[in-house]
Amino acid sequence: MPAGKQLMVQAHYINVSGAVTKSADKMDVQLVDPAKVTAYAADFVVDDDTFFIEPHSEMTTTMDCTVPQDLSLTMLLGHMHDQGKHYRLEEVDADGNVLKTLYEEEWAASYASHPPLLQYTMEEPLKLAKGTILRQTCSWNNITDASLAFPTEMCIAFGYYFPGTDRIMCERVEATP
């Protein structure tokens, strides 16, 4: 970790019991000689925070974004919360034709904190070229009495790329019907 940077850890807790609970987090951080580091990694994020889900309704939203630079990913996952139904991330061409499905899952509420991960090695990373168009599609079934929007529900892909030191966001270029 470069000098002057902070290590931030975020923990999520879902207390379904209704009772007050205490929690404690523990980390084991081990220092490594910087001379032994072959590459630093940073996060790559595809985030759709524009959706609004009415109570007792189903909804699907799709967004496209363009990868801003060449990336070599060692990990990729989708992220939704409890009302998520289906998540998909695809590579598409300029006409919107699907070239490859990168990640797809029928969503389970448990995936909000423990989603299936796709892991790659540094020797064989998932490569995304600058200009690659990604299409992210999320479906929800809102069984609650409340409307849902970001951040109560989410539609996000997270990945780790190398070499990297800063977060890269793949920004929405257009809403796709």
Q: Summarize pLDDT for 85-118 with one digit per residue, the tens.
A: 999 999 999 999 999 999 999 999 999 989 999 9
CA distances from 166 to 33, 43, 44, 59 (A): 21, 7, 9, 33
What's residue 17's pLDDT? 78
Domain positions in the chain: 40-175
What's residue 56's pLDDT? 98
Instruction: Look at residue 5 and tell me whether its pLDDT is greater than 90.
Output: no
What's residue 98's pLDDT? 97
Q: How many CB atoms lie within 10 A of CB 117?
A: 12
Lowest mean pLDDT among 12-16, 134-138, 141-145: 12-16
Please confirm whether the linkage preceding 151 is cis (ω < 30° from 0).
yes
Residue 156 banded pLDDT, cuts 50, 70, 90: very high
Residue 174 banded pLDDT, cuts 50, 70, 90: low
Q: How many CB atoms lie within 10 A of CB 105?
A: 16
For residue 159, what are the β-bridge partners?
A: 44, 76
Instruction: Look at residue 14 and tell me whether its pLDDT is greater than 80.
Output: no
Q: With b meaning 16 or more CB within 10 Å and e meaning fewer, what string describes 155-170?
A: bbbbbbbbebeeebeb
For residue 61, what are the β-bridge partners?
A: 138
| Integer Cα distance of 78 and 118 in angstroms | 10
| Integer Cα distance of 53 and 145 in angstroms | 11
**Domain 40-175 carries which CATH code?**
2.60.120.230
CA atoms within 13 A of residue 38's CA, in its CB half-sphere: 4
Residue among 63, 32, 75, 46 nearest 167 (CA): 46
* Three-state DSSP state, 99: strand
| Integer Cα distance of 137 and 118 in angstroms | 17
What's residue 25's pLDDT? 83
What's residue 75's pLDDT? 97
Instruction: Look at residue 132 and tell me whether its pLDDT is greater than 90.
Output: yes
Mean pLDDT, rounded, for 74-93: 96
